[in-house]
Amino acid sequence: MVVHDDRLFVTASAGLAGDAVILEVKEAWSGAPAFAQVSPAPMRVFEIETFDGHLYAGTGDVTNGYSVWKTEARGDACASPPSSWAERGARGDHSGRCHACL
């Protein structure tokens, strides 16, 4: 969970091994917060962090291993696509399943 540009972002996953999506939490203080996915559908997120005006996501996949992506996370999370993402880290060491979740 991180606050970026006065907005709350969380990761959500069905399991304990990562493979999450990034959600923006709207009106987190209310009794009925709303959630909107801001990560692209194929992105499998393990960590998020904010730095220098960007939201970063640590990801992994079974084909290429790990990578790092960033976005400014501007605009409406309900827009399609909600944010533009750029890969900032090399696609891991190409070890696939062995290092998909560091």
Beta strands per DSSP E along 1-102: 2-4, 7-12, 21-26, 34-37, 45-51, 54-61, 65-71, 86-87
pTM: 0.80
The confidence band for 100, taking pLDDT boundaries of 50, 70 and 90, is very low
**pLDDT over threshold 70, residue 80:** no
% of the chain surpassing 70 pLDDT: 76
- For the ranges 10-19, 20-29, 78-87, the lowest mean pLDDT is seen at 78-87
Instruction: Tally Cβ neighbours within 10 Å of residue 83.
Output: 19
Q: Which of 74, 96, 94, 99 is nearest to 84 (CA)?
A: 74
